[in-house]
Structure 1
Amino acid sequence: MEDSAPPAQVSHGSAEPRATPAGRITIAAIGLFVALLGATAATILQRRFGGAVDELMVLALLLNVALILLGWHRHRQITQLVGQRLANSARTRLTPTSDPLTGLLNRRALTEQGSAMLLDASRRHRATALLLVDLDRFRAVNELHGHATGDKLLARVASQIQAELPPFALAGRLGGDEFVCAFVFDPRDPDTVQRIAERLVSHLAQPIEIDGAGIQITATIGLARSNVERGSIDALTRAAKIAMCAAKEAGRNRVGWFDPAMARALQARNELEQALRDAIPAGQIIPYFEQQIDLATGQLFGFEVLARWDHPVHGIIPPDRFITIAEQTGMIADLSLAVMRQAFHAARDWDPSLSLSINISPAQLRDAWLPQKIIKLLLETGFPAHRLEIEITEGALFENLPLAQSIVGSLKNQGIRVALDDFGTGHSSLGHLRALPFDRIKIDRSVVKAVASDSDSAAVVSAIAGLGSSLNLPVTAEGVEDIETEGWLRNLGCARGQGYLYGRPMNSANTRRLLAERRLLAPGAPLLDPDHRLAG
């Protein structure tokens, strides 16, 4: 591997302004003025004592005075301009190029020196590798140990990064907990870059002791190289960041190479995000209803509300395409409330025995005003609170259990029921069942799917059903897709089930038609859906 030599240092010389041509002309004019003044003085004396006045001599004297004044004014202007330029040059030389916390290059210096490295590598038929290092969950360090400890950790990480880089490599800090490294390598041997990145990930995962506190972090690295993603150092940085984000989504604490397909996927995601921002207020996110069945009697007792995107061009878009985007961008609260409003409006004149179950995002469980927002929707739409069941995933409870207890308590005080969703997926805790007054347990479809063929899954379902029975909490199983699975669930003690065995999720119009066929609309309710469209 060949390395770039460091750039030569350039001396900027003295900051004192030098004499200008205008200054030299002014000096000459002054000399001429003195000579003329002497001659003129002699003439005046001769005139006083007799003799003729030389008018040309007087005219020359006046013109010379004007030349002196003009030259001196121009000389002052140029001297001030030169002084300003020298001052600006001095300030530029004094502008810091390093990050004050870590001693690494700052963003500006990294851009300048990185650009020079790219040019040099291209001339020598070499490639430049750029590594973007991002610490995983660094915010937790600041929250648990304080920002002073966090700053010391960043300085320690900077030292570890420099220790792993080859000679003449560049290392900089973009800000926060993001670092950038760049070095020249032989494009025929990309494994060199991979090995350096993997060593960095391994070493940064080792415990670090700061002020007596043991701190363990991990890092995720995105890699880009100039022979794949051509362009400026900024373009390489953007590519490496895309690769880093993809690596974080894949599980963190790893290395990910940039691929041009990632940029196309990011562009598609950004377009989908913008379309989603427009779709929510436009009413394009609509409720679909999935049947929930009493396993003992086969009777319909309610529906789970699911979100679908009724796109004007692409048709129905499933939730796995847009729910994650909504959660990551903070749109999930508006989306959820919009779907609730439509679902409450559609179901308010269904048979009073039918309930609605609606899943709450973990992001919404951070909002202390969530109960008031739901109650406001119930009042506006006229949907009874006792027919609503809010589903909360157990993973959402770990972040702030006291706030979750407050929210659940407020909902229960209004007569709204609360279910613990996705039970059996690895987060299950008896402590949460004791800490929160749940009304129901829902078993995740991943466990239900294999209950008829896998003894371990059957044992898990049986244990959950037994737990629910002992706590007087009925159990609902998701993902029931065939008669055999339904029979197993019934025998294992599950009270209710939902899944494709009972029908696919339906929009409000088709759901209303189903209820009309089963005589499950309230007396006098119209057969049209709330938007006055024919059912079906």
Structure 2
Amino acid sequence: MTANSAKTHRRRTDRPNRKVGRRERDITTLGIAFAAIILFVGTAGVVLPNLLKAWNGEGASPDAALTNALLLNIALILLGWHRYKALSEELVTRRASEAEARRLADIDHLTGCHNRRSFTAALGDLLVDLERREQALAAIAVDLDNFKQVNDLHGHQAGDEVLRVTSARIQRLLPDGGILARLGGDEFVCVVPYHPQVPDRVDQLAARMIEHVARPVEYAETPVDVTMSIGIASSTQMDDMRDGTASAQKLMHKADIAMYHAKKQGKNRFYWFEPQMENELRFRNELEAGIRRGIAAGEFRPYYEQQIDIETGELVGFEMLARWESPEMGVVGPDIFIPIAEEIGVISEMSEALIAQAFEDAKQWDSDLSLSVNISPIQMRDPWFAQKLLKLLVRHNFPANRLDIEITESCLHENVGMVRTMISSLRNQGVRVSLDDFGTGYSSLSQLRSLPFDRLKIDRAFIAELKQEEHGAKLVDAILTMSDGLNLPVTAEGIENELVLETLKRMGKMKGQGYHYGRPEPAELVLERLARQNLLAKDKLNNVTEVDFTAHDNRHGGGKRAG
């Protein structure tokens, strides 16, 4: 036991002893006062009559011992009364302090509303009493959207002010009988009574809450904008409400699930709880756990999609695409696990492991074949990303001029200055940088001119329109004209049939990729493909060796052929 814990233990064990000692002293004082009163009655009956006669000159003075005993009794009675009065005042003060302590324990110190403990107990009581009423209760879970950015941009004091203002705005909107609590951080929950046949009242309340909270909060003469996501669960969705606190926790959990669904659907909106949401959340949690296990077990593997010179039909490189070879679910595409990996903060670890494996795979290819790698916007927020990537290149001894990283337009809007620095740092080492999914974001011509990209990739949505709509060809032609003006080569994604391919051939020179050339393949099948085309690194080495030997023979007069 440490010194601090020992002191705490002594304080806790001494506290009951002090209470016992105080009670013993109080009982002793009460006993003395009671005995003094009895003695006073006995002595006063004798002393007082004699004392009055003596004052009137009708008799001798009372006995001195009895007189002193009477005075002592009076002193003891006064002492007992003073002690009783002090104890009464102490009891009143203690009760007030305990009441204040209970009140402080039941409220959130920042916003003044209920905290989790007191709200759960209050909701449990309401649910138990609900069986005797013709009402329903709606639990409304509230979470502020992107609240971390408020703290990061404006400071924690601004965040505290936003929480206080948000709490006050919600509180003003609640109907009679409504209770609001702050669960912690930027999470709130409230409960409101409503008639089961009129759930629209709750919808209207949620809509007003979203509208009022979205108004800017003034802090230090700076408007701070926030929005919130809301999930609603009704007591009518509960099977049993007699468990009090347990029932309250179940209802709050359902509201939380609906709130997370609102977040997933785009934030700044509300949803009522539905049973399938719980299944989706359970599946989501299983995916998160599976992704973490899969990273540790090496279940994420690079697959490769061919990149072709459209004019010549020659293979010029591969784009690395991630696949999850899950023992439970089979091969899972990146559209399933990449967004989740980004949200739970493991995308960088996953991506670096995939890139490292891709470097080792690509070292077995012909040295003229390039390797393209997609970079998550989350990774581009890391100011050390460029250094990490260059370190991987050195560690795996992979030529920088064979690597082409692809970033999306969304990366440009978060921190253009940092993105420009990263791109310049990578290009200075020989790495090429492409702007991926061009046309789907909001990049301007000025950004394209100021950022040193090496290539544009036309999004597959525009390429897909070439097979059926005339204006699709005009859009692609406009992009190609712009790329010519910026002196940027182009790669067309999503080539899926011969018609699209022939249309692109007529538009100019470019690289292309898509299912028309084949599906993405694991490293083993890529090596088989390259072996058939004599595009493995060892094949080229053999060819070079044979040419060198021939040249050597010619320089020496033909050698064996002369013989």
The Cα offsets for residues 414-455 of structure 1, whole Å up to 9 and x where unpaired, read as: 211110111100322223322321110011112221133233
Q: CA deviation at 1:212?
A: 4.2
* 1:371 is aligned to 2:380: no
Give the match for residue 192 of structure 2.
183
* 1:472 is aligned to 2:500: no
* 1:161 is aligned to 2:170: yes
Return closer, same or farther for 1:494/1:464 CA change in 2, 3 Å cut-off.
Answer: farther
Give the match for residue 224 of structure 1.
233
Alignment of 1:33-432 (within 5 A): 89=98, 92-93=101-102, 95-207=104-216, 209=218, 212-229=221-238, 231-432=246-447
How many Å separate the matches in 1 of 2:384 and 2:285?
Answer: 30
The Cα offsets for residues 237-267 of structure 1, whole Å up to 9 and x where unpaired, read as: 2222221121122122211111222222212
How many Å separate the matches in 2 of 1:222 and 1:175?
Answer: 17
Say which SS state the counterpart of residue 448 (structure 1) adopts.
Answer: helix
Q: CA deviation at 1:91?
A: 6.5
How many Å separate the matches in 2 of 1:361 and 1:318?
Answer: 16
Asked if structure 1 preserves the Cα contact closer than 8 Å seen for 2:496 and 2:515, the reply is yes
How big is the alpha-carbon RMSD for the aligned residues of Structure 1 and Structure 2?
3.2
The Cα offsets for residues 96-142 of structure 1, whole Å up to 9 and x where unpaired, read as: 43333333222232222222222222332532111112222334444
The Cα offsets for residues 125-183 of structure 1, whole Å up to 9 and x where unpaired, read as: 53211111222233444444444444333333222212221112101222333221101
Higher-Rg member (1/2): 2
Out of 264-273 and 147-156, give the one that drifted further: 147-156
How many Å separate the matches in 2 of 1:206 and 1:95?
Answer: 30
The letter for the 1-side match of 2:226 is I
The letter for the 1-side match of 2:167 is A
Out of 143-152 and 344-353, give the one that drifted further: 143-152
Asked if structure 2 preserves the Cα contact closer than 8 Å seen for 1:288 and 1:506, the reply is yes
The Cα offsets for residues 344-381 of structure 1, whole Å up to 9 and x where unpaired, read as: 11110211111110001111112222223223322333
How many Å separate the matches in 2 of 1:108 and 1:312?
Answer: 42
Say which SS state the counterpart of residue 321 (structure 2) adopts.
Answer: strand
Say which SS state the counterpart of residue 251 (structure 1) adopts.
Answer: coil
Say which SS state the counterpart of residue 292 (structure 2) adopts.
Answer: helix
How many Å separate the matches in 1 of 2:318 and 2:341?
Answer: 23
Say which SS state the counterpart of residue 232 (structure 1) adopts.
Answer: helix
Asked if structure 2 preserves the Cα contact closer than 8 Å seen for 1:128 and 1:226, the reply is yes
Say which SS state the counterpart of residue 173 (structure 1) adopts.
Answer: strand
The letter for the 2-side match of 1:291 is Q
* 1:485 is aligned to 2:500: yes
The Cα offsets for residues 470-525 of structure 1, whole Å up to 9 and x where unpaired, read as: 12111111111111112222333351111000000001111111111111112358
Asked if structure 2 preserves the Cα contact closer than 8 Å seen for 1:449 and 1:480, the reply is yes
Q: CA deviation at 1:209?
A: 4.8
Return closer, same or farther for 1:313/1:131 CA change in 2, 3 Å cut-off.
Answer: closer
Say which SS state the counterpart of residue 134 (structure 1) adopts.
Answer: strand
Return closer, same or farther for 1:482/1:142 CA change in 2, 3 Å cut-off.
Answer: same
How many Å separate the matches in 1 of 2:522 and 2:438?
Answer: 27
Give the match for residue 506 of structure 1.
521
Return closer, same or farther for 1:144/1:341 CA change in 2, 3 Å cut-off.
Answer: closer
Match of 1:497 among 504, 512, 518: 512
The letter for the 2-side match of 1:157 is T
Asked if structure 2 preserves the Cα contact closer than 8 Å seen for 1:465 and 1:494, the reply is no
Asked if structure 1 preserves the Cα contact closer than 8 Å seen for 2:311 and 2:509, the reply is no
Out of 509-518 and 480-489, give the one that drifted further: 480-489
How many Å separate the matches in 2 of 1:216 and 1:95?
Answer: 30
Return closer, same or farther for 1:146/1:488 CA change in 2, 3 Å cut-off.
Answer: same
Note the residue ranges of structure 1 that are not aligned, 5 or more in a row.
1-14, 36-78, 527-536
Q: CA deviation at 1:313?
A: 3.6
The letter for the 2-side match of 1:351 is D
How many Å separate the matches in 1 of 2:266 and 2:328?
Answer: 34
How many Å separate the matches in 2 of 1:405 and 1:392?
Answer: 12
The Cα offsets for residues 173-197 of structure 1, whole Å up to 9 and x where unpaired, read as: 2233322110122223322211211
* 1:457 is aligned to 2:453: no
Say which SS state the counterpart of residue 502 (structure 1) adopts.
Answer: coil
Identity, % of aligned positions: 45
Higher helix share: 2
Q: CA deviation at 1:458?
A: 2.4
Give the match for residue 532 of structure 1.
none
Note the residue ranges of structure 2 that are not aligned, 5 or more in a row.
1-18, 40-86, 240-245, 542-563
The Cα offsets for residues 205-252 of structure 1, whole Å up to 9 and x where unpaired, read as: 345555544444322211111221455322222222221121122122
The letter for the 2-side match of 1:242 is I
Say which SS state the counterpart of residue 95 (structure 1) adopts.
Answer: helix
Asked if structure 2 preserves the Cα contact closer than 8 Å seen for 1:285 and 1:335, the reply is yes
Asked if structure 1 preserves the Cα contact closer than 8 Å seen for 2:232 and 2:270, the reply is yes
- State the TM-score, normalizing by the size of structure 1: 0.79
The letter for the 2-side match of 1:490 is K
- State the TM-score, normalizing by the size of structure 2: 0.75
How many Å separate the matches in 1 of 2:370 and 2:207?
Answer: 53
Out of 229-238 and 476-485, give the one that drifted further: 229-238
The letter for the 2-side match of 1:309 is W
Give the match for residue 68 of structure 2.
none
Asked if structure 1 preserves the Cα contact closer than 8 Å seen for 2:116 and 2:181, the reply is yes
* 1:445 is aligned to 2:445: no
How many Å separate the matches in 2 of 1:180 and 1:381?
Answer: 52
How many Å separate the matches in 2 of 1:426 and 1:144?
Answer: 25
Asked if structure 2 preserves the Cα contact closer than 8 Å seen for 1:355 and 1:388, the reply is yes
How many Å separate the matches in 2 of 1:330 and 1:262?
Answer: 23
